[in-house]
Structure 1
Amino acid sequence: MGSLLVGLILILAAGIFQGTWALGLKRSEPLSWEAFWAPFSFIGMIVIPFIWVSIVIPDLKAIIDKIPSNVIWIPFLYGAGWGIGAVTFGLAIKYIGMSLSYGINMGIASSVGALIPFFQLDNLQTGLVVAVVAGTMVMLTGVILITRAGILREKHQGKGEDQIVREGHTRIGIILALIGGLSTASFNIGFSKALPVVDVAAETGATKANGSLIAWLFVLSGGFILNFAYAVFLLIKNGSFKDYRTTGSGRGLLVMLATAIGWFAAIGIYGQGAAVMGDLGPIAGWIMFMALALIVSNVWGLRTGEWKGMKVPVKYLYAGNIILILSWIILGLANTI
């Protein structure tokens, strides 16, 4: 099986996980957001990545000792930038739901996070530039339609004072999603900056797919600090430690654990697929990963009733998803140029 096909299959699986994990945020009761996010950050960003890497890379310390310090610290700093986006994205879902949050956040994150590494490549061919930019623009068109669907959905919800409250929440949610999208772009840029570790890992016999997992240790360490610190700050400020003693908190923590596993499964498998695909992996692969995650999240949004009774908005939603699939086709072909 060719490396391109393997990479595409891995990114397909990663996109399904990415579009699904956030369901846990909507089923976190009785835990407050911060009571959920603090352990989620530690387990999903530190514990699970380290366990996975330790299993598939026995000589982890030897590999880290061989790589230049900038391959560690630059991704770490980009990860810290992403940490801002992870926090605001989690909050945006609470305000405007999965579909609209994903639309804004993923649209910005996918385009900015892919095009910056792309234009840093050497010897770009004109045909490749056209294909990648076209695929990105098509993807953004789909995102715009999906975002429009979300706005129309909000206009159909409620009347009077309740509607004003919801519209206020929508504005806050959109701002949070915009900030999150710009910050989330740092996530993939940081990953691309850490990819030299794959070659070092290969010297010890590790595969490209497994070597890519080491890159996430650097990026996620930076992101963890802000995520965990903010959640703990809110735990103290809001007195939310009591949530862990509330009836049903055990179930909430199990949901948190499943969410953390699903979240890093998405990230780790995406990284493996991107590494296998080669230079275009963190570029075309990133956009494809985001596009599929958005499609999957919209499916879940439909199934959980976010779009119930919204005939016109759903038409925009379907049109946007069809266009996202088209972007997958364009970017898949770009990998053959």
Structure 2
Amino acid sequence: MPAILAGIGWHMVGAASAASFYAPIEKVKRWSWETTWAVAGIFSWVLLPIGVSFLLLPHFGTFYESIPPGVLLKMALFGAMWGVGNVSYGLTMRHLGMSLGIGVAIGVTLVVGTLVPPLMHGQAAMLFQTRSGLLNMAGVLVALAGVAIVSSAGHMKEMQLKSGGPTEFNVMLGLALAVMCGIFSSGMSFAMDAAQPMQAAALGVGVSPLYSALPSYVFIMGGGALVNFAYCFGRLATVKKISLREDLRQPQGTVLRNAALAATGGIMWYLQFFFYAWGAANIPQRLGYVNWMLHMSGYVLFGGIVGLALGEWAGVTSRPIRLLWVGILVIIAAANLVGMGLAT
């Protein structure tokens, strides 16, 4: 039981990092979104995954050469699928804000990323015929209800802000992007499922169970990086009103400040999956499908709190804020249901 509580706790730490990563990115000034996103990605998808794996593995190159090419390809392709969702996620935050954007996007990816992997492995019966499976499924449904409540609160907030004056929100575009993000972002869950042979190989060369998932991020996030960089640099090269060269020609102080903020956001983004690996290492492998649910529901939980802390709800009446807190409490109850299922 202590290990399970530790697993849930580490998932919440990772989710808090994930929910907060966009805060420094929002503070970047006089840069295009594409340049900001690419700089953050250099740290989160390239430098940190490779650097951490280089430190963990006794023989970096030899280790990856030992992994079957089919496993590497599946990880990279699922990573690319996640990459499409990641671009959509960044744009969702841009058009919906953190509270509503996270709620809709994560609601979709929570269901898809949690339920599809066990179904793919022929474990559907376990979800519905065992006490632990039923408790975990109840946790998924309660978490989805919590996500819906938080999303409803965010929608009420948007309506009030819109009626009060100009707003940066674009509801229709943002919702479409959020749904797209939710579907494609579940590729990360599939990629981690495909990476199990690499995790076993990492354990075989002496990597601690807490860190055994981290070497797989080199290929998973590498696949996602290709999609993200293609989008960002493609737009920087073809859209006349934005330019990487112009962004980098800003005063040196602005460039350094923006680069530091973008890098901070990228590092915080990577840390979500660093602590995800710690959480997953403490969850029984037979119930590994709940890892994604815990991470995603925690994401919404802390997304709502971060949105409040950043003043996104300033000028909103008390009703949507009360509804937001109800949703947060429902998500906490869902995490407790899953904890009961894991302990069974």
**Local SS of the residue matching 2:29:** coil
Answer yes or no: is 1:58 the counterpart of 2:58.
yes
**Local SS of the residue matching 2:289:** helix
Compare 251-260 and 50-59 and name the one that shifted more.
Answer: 50-59
Answer yes or no: is 1:295 the counterpart of 2:298.
no
Residue 215 of structure 1 is matched in structure 2 by 216
Please tell me the residue identity of whatever aligns with 2:267.
I
Residue 243 of structure 1 is matched in structure 2 by 247
Choose from 312, 321, 324 the match for 1:314: 321
Q: Deviations over 1:197-224 (max 9, x none)?
A: 1211111111122111012112111101
Answer yes or no: is 1:256 the counterpart of 2:262.
yes
State how far apart, in whole Å, the 1-side matches of 2:104 and 2:17 are: 19
Please tell me the residue identity of whatever aligns with 2:84.
I
Please tell me the residue identity of whatever aligns with 1:276.
N
Normalised to the residue count of structure 2, the TM-score between the two structures is: 0.91
State how far apart, in whole Å, the 1-side matches of 2:73 and 2:282 are: 24
1:35-54 mapped onto 2 (5 Å cutoff): 35-54=35-54
State how far apart, in whole Å, the 2-side matches of 1:5 and 1:303 are: 27
Residue 138 of structure 1 is matched in structure 2 by 142
Contact 1:17 1:266 in 2 (8 A): yes
**Local SS of the residue matching 2:292:** helix
State how far apart, in whole Å, the 1-side matches of 2:209 and 2:196 are: 10
Contact 2:40 2:264 in 1 (8 A): no
State how far apart, in whole Å, the 2-side matches of 1:50 and 1:7 are: 25
- Quote how far apart the aligned CAs of 1:147 are: 0.8
Choose from 271, 281, 292 the match for 2:277: 271
Compare 193-202 and 140-149 and name the one that shifted more.
Answer: 193-202
Q: Measured at CA, do residues 282 and 188 of structure 1 come closer, stay the same or move farther in structure 2, by a change above 3 Å?
A: farther
Residue 90 of structure 1 is matched in structure 2 by 90
- Quote how far apart the aligned CAs of 1:99 are: 0.4
Q: Deviations over 1:237-256 (max 9, x none)?
A: 23421112213122011001
Residue 69 of structure 1 is matched in structure 2 by 69
Contact 2:85 2:181 in 1 (8 A): yes
Please tell me the residue identity of whatever aligns with 1:285.
N
- Quote how far apart the aligned CAs of 1:2 are: 4.7
Please tell me the residue identity of whatever aligns with 1:156.
Q
State how far apart, in whole Å, the 1-side matches of 2:56 and 2:195 are: 18
Compare 290-299 and 226-235 and name the one that shifted more.
Answer: 290-299
Please tell me the residue identity of whatever aligns with 1:336.
A
Answer yes or no: is 1:149 the counterpart of 2:153.
yes
**Stretches (4+) displaced over 3 A:** none
State how far apart, in whole Å, the 1-side matches of 2:172 and 2:12 are: 32
Residue 18 of structure 2 is matched in structure 1 by 18
Unaligned runs of 5+ in 2: none
1:130-209 mapped onto 2 (5 Å cutoff): 130-159=134-163, 169-209=170-210
Contact 1:57 1:211 in 2 (8 A): no
Residue 332 of structure 2 is matched in structure 1 by 325
State how far apart, in whole Å, the 2-side matches of 1:20 and 1:186 are: 21
Q: Measured at CA, do residues 215 and 281 of structure 1 come closer, stay the same or move farther in structure 2, by a change above 3 Å?
A: farther
Please tell me the residue identity of whatever aligns with 1:210.
Y
**Local SS of the residue matching 1:31:** coil
Normalised to the residue count of structure 1, the TM-score between the two structures is: 0.93
- Quote how far apart the aligned CAs of 1:69 are: 2.1
Q: Measured at CA, do residues 30 and 277 of structure 1 come closer, stay the same or move farther in structure 2, by a change above 3 Å?
A: same
State how far apart, in whole Å, the 1-side matches of 2:271 and 2:287 are: 17
State how far apart, in whole Å, the 1-side matches of 2:301 and 2:320 are: 15
Q: Deviations over 1:8-35 (max 9, x none)?
A: 2321221121111111231121221101
State how far apart, in whole Å, the 2-side matches of 1:269 and 1:195 are: 17
State how far apart, in whole Å, the 2-side matches of 1:75 and 1:336 are: 30
Residue 81 of structure 2 is matched in structure 1 by 81
Q: Measured at CA, do residues 15 and 26 of structure 1 come closer, stay the same or move farther in structure 2, by a change above 3 Å?
A: same
- Equivalent pairs counted in the alignment come to 334
Residue 129 of structure 1 is matched in structure 2 by 133
Percent identity (aligned): 25
Q: Measured at CA, do residues 291 and 225 of structure 1 come closer, stay the same or move farther in structure 2, by a change above 3 Å?
A: same
Q: Measured at CA, do residues 134 and 91 of structure 1 come closer, stay the same or move farther in structure 2, by a change above 3 Å?
A: same
State how far apart, in whole Å, the 2-side matches of 1:196 and 1:276 are: 18
Unaligned runs of 5+ in 1: none
Contact 1:213 1:272 in 2 (8 A): no
Q: Measured at CA, do residues 332 and 111 of structure 1 come closer, stay the same or move farther in structure 2, by a change above 3 Å?
A: same
Q: Deviations over 1:149-204 (max 9, x none)?
A: 111111111449x66x767x111111111100111111111111102212111111
State how far apart, in whole Å, the 2-side matches of 1:250 and 1:332 are: 44
